[in-house]
């Protein structure tokens, strides 16, 4: 397998599982804490997830300086988006999934997210990072199609570009929803904030007499 295909494979192997895991697990917090806890993977599941992400990120990184699939402007954007996308994924993994790998309860991950994201610098970096993840997701899928020659007709390729752009935008919008919840205590859409879910430090509430 040549370097173009290895890079495309690594990008998809990193981007798709991260996007799906983020929307399923962390996205559940936008509905309630209970949904977040129910959707949290087991220790084994979290370990497998992080291993897949690490393999995909490593493949994409080690082939980054070689010839990349797709148009030249796409290759430049891939190089621009990959590193911040991986950094964002690493930060999310450290807060949300690494505690599960260690065998901690999912509530630990929930409280880590609630304790970290309300800060202006953390929430701003998270939003920017998710934008890079969305951009990387679109470009990596496009690169995968180009590297393996899956779509050849120009008209079909144009429609594919529109579909992948729509997918990236949809991911970004959906990804901001749980981020908004952890920052403000209420999601952007999809669930009405309830009094018991307002942003109150729960550890402090539990320790109060």
Report yes or no on whether pTM surpasses 0.85: no
Q: What is the residue extent of each domain of the chain?
A: 3-189
Q: Name the region of 69 (left: φ>0; alpha: ψ -120 to 50; beta: rest).
A: beta
**pLDDT by residue (tens digit) across 102-127?**
999 999 999 999 999 888 888 899 99
Structure tokens at 33: 């804490």
Closest CA to 56 of 30, 20, 106: 20
Structure tokens at 161: 């570009």
Structure tokens at 93: 């993994």
**pLDDT by residue (tens digit) across 133-189?**
999 888 888 888 877 766 667 777 777 778 888 999 999 999 999 999 998 887 887
Q: How far is residue 187's CA from residue 178's CA, in Å, rounded to a whole number?
A: 6
């Amino acid at each position: 397998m040549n370097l173009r295909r290895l890079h495309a494979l690594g990008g998809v192997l990193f981007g798709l599982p991260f996007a799906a895991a983020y929307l399923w697990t962390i996205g559940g917090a936008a509905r309630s804490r209970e949904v977040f806890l129910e959707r949290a993977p087991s220790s084994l599941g979290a370990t497998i997830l992080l291993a897949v992400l690490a393999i995909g990120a490593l493949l994409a990184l080690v082939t980054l300086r070689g010839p990349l699939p797709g148009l030249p402007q796409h290759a430049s954007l891939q190089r621009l988006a990959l590193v911040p996308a991986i950094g964002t994924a690493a930060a999310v993994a450290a807060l949300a999934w690494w505690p599960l790998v260690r065998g901690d309860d999912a509530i630990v991950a929930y409280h880590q997210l609630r304790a970290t994201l309300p800060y202006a610098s953390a929430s701003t970096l998270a939003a920017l990072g998710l934008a890079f993840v969305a951009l990387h997701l679109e470009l990596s899928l496009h690169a995968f199609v180009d590297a393996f020659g899956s779509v050849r007709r120009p008209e079909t390729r144009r429609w594919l570009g529109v579909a992948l752009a729509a997918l990236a935008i949809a991911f970004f919008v959906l990804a901001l929803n749980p981020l908004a919840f952890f920052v403000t205590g209420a999601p952007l859409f999809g669930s009405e904030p309830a009094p018991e879910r307002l942003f109150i430090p729960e550890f402090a509430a539990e320790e109060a007499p």
